[in-house]
């Protein structure tokens, strides 16, 4: 190393070390800010709690959740490998450091939490889509994780995600779809959307949602169909009657207590 | 044939014009703060990403621009506006750790504030940060008030005609668990 190289090296080392700062934050924790930037151009920080935990404060998964890619993250095939490689452990909503004995382990953790959201492409809501199916899934997920009293103690998030996923079933050469995956294998849950479409579109959409349960019932008379809808009164009378006749239960999300009804429909036999 | 798209540069004049662009339309109807399901606190909320349109920004920015908001247990709610795949253009923070000076010269210790890019005070070529504290940002405001102030200060329009509210926490009557 010549003199010029040594000077530059020392300058880099000094700027990195001087760029690390700490300051007090809520709950008696301290924030450690680094000179590095994360996936959105903001300073990478971590938090040290008063009981000595090193954590991201839940920020990384909250970002992934708000980007509307949480399901992609949960089923990301590299998730376990990534967590191991970057010294991360998930404790419910936060990403904590796994081993903090070595400086390299801390640096790997910092790199991991700052890079993670960039692996997923955000799915922002736009004018082109009907948001109700996503809203219904979000409501169900929230109710299962936070309100449903008999949720499992171990990994309730994964359990809830499995219940709100769509399910397909092969039947004599055709495929039947349910918009969610209730524990009761003979139950089908259909989300009725298109509330802001024209009357003819609503009518057509609702009729199409009833076709799969009808076909499945031919093969299995035990099948029951639950419908999740925001407000049934905004659909044509003919569609309302048809839904009332074909569905075993209609859950209207406009009603108080409907969230828990959705959770029970998913989690109970 | 070009292997990559031609480079695009966000000119400071364009950035300032975008800050003043009115309205900046938010797609998908009125924004809604929802409970962040992985945390239990009443202030744990999130804002699901929404596409934002702009007539002023270069198309590379405008075509992928979105607004989103997330929760941090130790620093509260944060909002950002960014093009997908690139750095933020605007942010709003409910708290600030350590003292800072706002663009109008006032000094704050811990206060809600907005982050703008500062092309006049660059750090090695990259734009710096200027912190803005308009009158609507009172100390200790909740996430809904922060979002409301942010939308109004930067002329975002989501088509709403009422105030943004904190999500209501639905509580279960205790003691009935065994019957549910």
Nearest to B94 by CA among A25, A37, A31, A40: A25
Q: Residue A250 above 80 pLDDT?
A: yes
Angstroms from A93 CA to nearest CA on chain B:
5
Residue in A25, A33, A74 to test binding to B, most B beta-carbons within 10 Å: A25
CB B58 within 8 A of CB B51: no
Nearest to B10 by CA among B84, B92, B119: B119
Angstroms from A3 CA to nearest CA on chain B:
24
Q: What is the average per-residue pLDDT within A102-123?
A: 94
Q: Indicate the domain borders of chain B.
A: 12-159
Per-residue model confidence (pLDDT) at position B4:
58
DSSP label at residue A223: -
Q: Which residues of A touch B47 (CB under 8 A)?
A: 66
Mean pLDDT score across all residues of chain A: 91
Q: Residue ranges of chain B with pLDDT lower than 70?
A: 1-7, 169-180
Among the partner-chain residues B76, B170, B180, the one whose CB lies closest to the CB of A259 is B170
Q: Residue A46 above 90 pLDDT?
A: yes
Q: Which residues of A touch B50 (CB under 8 A)?
A: 124-126
| Interface touch A40/B87, C-beta < 8 Å | yes
pLDDT digits (tens, 9 = 90+) for A183-229: 999 999 999 988 877 788 888 889 989 999 988 888 888 999 999 99
Tokens of B54: 């702009």
As a whole number of Å, the CA-based R_g of chain B is 19
Per-residue model confidence (pLDDT) at position A264:
94
Sign of CA dihedral B31, B37, B41, B42: positive
Instruction: Tell me the angle at which helices A258-267 and A132-142 cross, rounded to the nearest 10 degrees.
Output: 80
Tokens of B72: 């941090």
One DSSP character per residue, chain B reads --SSPPP----HHHHHHHHT-S-EEBSSSS--EEE-TT--STT-EEEEEEEB--SSS-HHHHTTEEEEEEEETTTEEEEEEEETTS--SEEEES--SS-EE-TTS-EESS--EEEEEEEEEEETTEEEEEEE--TT--TT--HHHHHHHHHHHTTEE----S---PPPPP-PPTT-GGG-
Dist. CA A105–CA A91, nearest whole Å: 18
DSSP label at residue A180: B
Q: Which residues of A touch B76 (CB under 8 A)?
A: 26
Q: Which residues of A touch B172 (CB under 8 A)?
A: 147, 149, 260
Looking at this predicted complex, what is its ipTM?
A: 0.89
As a whole number of Å, the CA-based R_g of chain A is 25
Per-residue model confidence (pLDDT) at position A195:
81
Angle ∠(B67,B41,B69) on CA atoms, nearest 5: 5
Q: Provide the whole-model pTM.
A: 0.75
Select the more confidently predicted residue: B78 or A135.
B78
Q: Residue A154 above 80 pLDDT?
A: yes
**Residue ranges with strand state E in A152-248:** 167-171, 174-178, 187-192, 224-229
What is the rounded end-to-end Cα distance, in angstroms, of chain B? 64
């Amino acid at each position: 190393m010549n003199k010029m190289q040594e000077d530059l090296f020392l300058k880099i080392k000094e700027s990195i070390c001087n760029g690390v700062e700490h300051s007090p934050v809520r709950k008696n924790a301290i924030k450690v800010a680094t000179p590095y930037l994360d996936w959105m151009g903001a300073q990478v920080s971590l938090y040290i709690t008063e009981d000595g935990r090193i954590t991201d404060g839940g920020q990384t998964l909250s970002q992934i959740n708000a980007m509307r890619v949480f399901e992609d993250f949960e089923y990301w095939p590299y998730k376990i490998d990534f967590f191991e490689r970057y010294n991360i452990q998930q404790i419910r909503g936060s990403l904590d450091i796994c081993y903090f004995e070595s400086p390299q382990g801390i640096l790997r953790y910092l790199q991991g939490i700052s890079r993670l959201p960039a692996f997923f492409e955000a799915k922002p809501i736009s004018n082109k889509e009907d948001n109700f199916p996503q809203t219904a899934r979000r409501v169900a997920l929230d109710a299962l994780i936070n309100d449903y009293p008999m949720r499992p103690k171990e990994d309730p998030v994964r359990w809830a995600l499995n219940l709100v996923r769509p399910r397909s079933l092969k039947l004599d050469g055709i495929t039947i779809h349910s918009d969610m995956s209730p524990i009761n294998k003979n139950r089908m849950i259909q989300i009725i959307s298109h509330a802001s479409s024209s009357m003819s579109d609503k009518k057509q959409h609702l009729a199409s949602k009833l076709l799969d349960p009808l076909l499945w019932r031919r093969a299995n008379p035990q099948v029951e169909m639950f419908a999740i809808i925001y407000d049934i009164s905004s659909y044509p009378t003919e569609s309302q009657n048809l839904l009332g006749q074909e569905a075993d239960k209609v859950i209207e999300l406009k009603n108080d207590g409907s969230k828990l009804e959705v959770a029970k429909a998913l989690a109970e036999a | 044939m070009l292997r990559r798209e031609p480079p695009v540069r966000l000119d400071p004049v364009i950035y300032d014009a975008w800050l003043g662009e009115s309205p900046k339309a938010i797609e998908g109807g009125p924004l809604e703060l929802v409970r962040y399901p992985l945390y239990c606190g009443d202030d744990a909320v999130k804002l699901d990403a929404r596409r934002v349109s702009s007539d002023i920004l270069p198309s590379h920015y405008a075509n992928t621009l979105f607004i989103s908001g997330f929760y941090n247990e130790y620093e509260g709610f944060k909002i950002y506006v960014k093009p997908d795949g690139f750095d933020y253009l605007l942010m709003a923070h409910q708290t600030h750790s350590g003292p800072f000076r706002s663009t109008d010269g006032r000094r704050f210790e811990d206060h809600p504030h907005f982050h703008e890019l500062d092309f006049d005070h660059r750090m090695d070529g990259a734009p710096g940060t200027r912190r803005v504290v308009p009158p609507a940002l009172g100390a200790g405001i909740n996430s809904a008030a922060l979002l409301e102030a942010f939308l109004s200060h930067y002329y975002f329009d989501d088509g709403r005609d009422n105030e943004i509210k904190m999500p209501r926490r639905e509580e279960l009557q205790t003691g009935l668990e065994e019957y549910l």
